[in-house]
Structure 1
Amino acid sequence: MTINQNSVKAVCPGSFDPITYGHIDIIERAAQLFPSVIVGVLKNPNKKPLFTAEERVELIKSATRHLPNVEVLFFSGLLVDFVRAVQGNLIIKGLRAISDFEIEFQMSLNNKRMAPEIETMFMMTKNEYSFLSSSMVKEVVQFGGEIKDLVPPEVAAALVNKFSIT
């Protein structure tokens, strides 16, 4: 299948609890490559996120406001159903390490089985974000550590507020 780069509507999915500079790196690079990027925020009823889906959407909108071709929406259910619903044709997944690839590769193959018309593209994050995860950020802030180099200021403030740290 050939996709014209100018007609791509890319979807960057994730839980983003919270969004980090690693996520933003992938979203910014996707926004440079494709005319339309949708950040799909997963609302998974089986997980207990720190931030609600609505809060995560607002934090991501704030962190990506400098990207005019990026839209942020939340979804639940299958990713391929969401991609079809927004008329997307490409899934972009960020990778940090080999362990990410193994999991993402399996999901990619299953998505391709369910939706052969949707392609998946993997992007490696920048070296300085290869260690970064939302879980690690939450743990660092919970114990009073510095996170200014890990998340945007509005996200840091929201985290501090969630953990009621003064």
Structure 2
Amino acid sequence: MSKSLRFLVPLIIFGALVILLMIGLGKDPTKVPSPLIGKPVPEFSLPALTDPERRVEDEDLQGEISLVNVWASWCVSCRQEHQALMALSKNSDFQIVGINWKDDAQDAREVLRMTGNPYAMNGHDPDNKVGLHWGVYGAPETFVVDRQGIIRYKHIGPITREVWEKTLEPLVAKLKAEG
């Protein structure tokens, strides 16, 4: 191999890697598609965070529009979205169901005691068994589930006023109108 070719091959490989990196950096990480959209929620049964004798199950998502919010006490972004969830919990058009993910139950209960509890029910998933089936990459993530238990949308990242007004509220209104 000639000297110029030995120099040129690594340069071409480096250039290709730079191009791939630039393409990746230009993508929005909150737009990761979910293969679960349009499919029934995965079967699950978790102990309730506030009462381990009770269960939070997939059947709890039948008959009502649900925002299923994956959160954790250690999650900074979850704390940022908490006030938005508290405000949304007053809306009777849907229920907010929590999945407390990869967390210590006592820490999670303490956060809810101090900041308020926006959840109609909250399952505790310390070992990610349920999160894995839902395709959870991190917290927070929120799924919109229709009355038939079909996942209609997945939002990655905190729910903000803008996310609510531009994306989630119109979808909830559409699902409500579908009856």
TM-score (norm 2): 0.28
The TM-score with structure 1 as length reference comes to: 0.30
